[in-house]
Chain A
């Protein structure tokens, strides 16, 4: 029998192919580590910035029940950010550095959060569509090759389904309400539909890293596959609500057992990615401001902990 000498990288790939999870102290190619840090921290940033458009409505929710639900959802998103930052830290990234990159504009976050939330129906649309799209992206990542990332995603996914349901319930309530409420729901869908389709990222033909990411199993479906799944999932739900999906090219295709749909406005997509969306500046500014205004709290807590440590040490010495 001939002996097979595998390189470190081949052994690594063999483990991934066998669906063995990679853990923090295991050897991994530099590019795998770097790609993961970028992907996980971008995801974490999205959770963090994602709190802002919904935070906008907490004080204006139409009832105490809705307010409590929205607060709980926004709090979950903060938690999701934390799970993900922690996962990135196991790869050697520093929390401060990741935040600095977000605040300087160097790091990206999901473009969807650069759109404004103008009406209460937008809280419905964000939960129903945006969290719905996030779930499609995230469920396959529960089986991603990097252990801490996969475990964080399991936790996130458990919490996301409540997010989508509360959004759908807001939409359903509006759609069963007055004509004005129904119109508000339709207007929300009109604004959110296309930006949500953009959440899945550029077309496969323009996503050069997809192949390597699929090979490493840090991505398990292509952008276009997920976009198709999303449309097929959401159209019947919109029909149930009595809402019209704002796409004249939307049509059931019997042969592929899925919907054909129009092309996303990619110019708008790239424009928002490059920082020129409606709220890019506002979001980043709000984030930086929150961080800076919290600086004294972080410093005071450290000083307090330090003082207490010294006091305890003095007690022991005495």
Chain B
């Protein structure tokens, strides 16, 4: 008996036309075609999707949670990036 596992794939589904593909989970499959078929069977049995992307998990690169502080902090003190930072006179409409 072979001990070799089928590779792992990450599955992304567009739930309806006009929306982004969203990560829904993962599965094992020998190749991309089988991954898409399995994703259809496992993740869209109740019309959950109109389009499927699969990506072999080993190709996904992720940010490191240990670096979160340094990585995301620079956005913390830039409140002027938000519209609520600005005061608009009451008499000004449509802004």
Q: Which residues of A contact B (CB under 8 A)?
A: 23, 25-27, 72, 75-76, 79, 82-83, 86, 89, 94-96, 151-152, 155, 159, 292, 295, 298-299, 301-302, 304-305, 308-309
Stretch at the interface among B61-69, B70-78, B79-87: B61-69
Inter-chain contacts of B4 with A (CB < 8 A): 302
B25: A residues at CB distance < 8 A: 83, 86, 151-152, 155
Interchain CB contact under 8 A, A305 and B30: yes
Q: Which residues of B contact A (CB under 8 A)?
A: 1-6, 8, 25-28, 30-31, 34, 41-42, 45-46, 62, 64-66
Q: A295-B2, A308-B31 are in contact. List 7 more A-B contacts (CB 8 A).
A: A25-B62, A26-B65, A75-B45, A86-B27, A298-B6, A301-B6, A305-B34
Contact of B30 among A83, A95, A159, A304 (CB under 8 A): A304
B42 in complex: contacting residue of A82, A89, A304, A308, CB < 8 Å: A82
- Residues of chain B lying within 8 A (CB to CB) of residue A25: 62, 64-65
Residues of chain A with a CB closer than 8 A to B8's CB = 89
**How near does chain B come to A154, taking the closest CB pair, in angstroms?**
11
Query: Is A302 within 8 A of B6, CB to CB?
Result: yes
Q: Which B residues are in CB contact (< 8 Å) with A304?
A: 30-31
Secondary structure dominating the interface of A: helix
List of 5 A-B pairs having minimum Cβ-Cβ separation, nearest first:
A301-B30, A305-B31, A305-B30, A86-B26, A299-B2
Point out the residues of chain A lying under 8 angstroms from B41, CB to CB: 75, 79
- A-B contact list, 27 entries, CB within 8 Å: A25-B62, A25-B64, A75-B41, A75-B45, A79-B41, A79-B42, A83-B25, A86-B25, A95-B5, A95-B28, A96-B5, A151-B25, A152-B25, A155-B25, A295-B1, A298-B2, A298-B6, A299-B2, A301-B6, A301-B30, A301-B31, A301-B34, A302-B2, A304-B30, A305-B30, A305-B34, A309-B31
CA distance A86 to B11 in the complex (A): 11
Alpha-carbon gap, A302 to B1, bound state (A): 13
User: How long is the Cα–Cα vector from A75 to B4 in the complex, in angstroms?
Assistant: 25
Report whether B45 and A82 are in contact in the complex, using a CB–CB cutoff of 8 Å: no
User: Which residues of the other chain, B, contact A95 by a CB distance below 8 angstroms?
Assistant: 5, 28
CB distance from B7 to the nearest CB of A (A): 9
Set of chain A residues within 8 Å of B27, measured between Cβ atoms: 82, 86
B68 vs chain A, min Cβ distance (A): 9
In angstroms, Cα B2 to Cα A292, docked, is: 10
Query: Hey, which chain A residues are within 8 Å of B5, CB to CB?
Result: 94-96
Q: How far is the CA of A7 from the CA of B46 in the complex (A)?
A: 45
CB–CB B45/A76 < 8 A: yes
Determine how close the nearest CB of chain A comes to the CB of B85; give it in whole angstroms.
27
Q: Which residues of B contact A27 (CB under 8 A)?
A: 65-66
Q: B46: which A residues are within 8 A, CB to CB?
A: 159
Cβ of A166 to closest chain B Cβ, rounded Å: 14
- Residues of A near B64 (CB, < 8 A) are 25
B30 near A302: Cβ-Cβ < 8 Å: yes
Chain B residues lying within 8 Å of A76, measured Cβ to Cβ, are: 45
Chain B nearest CB from A20 CB (Å) reads 12
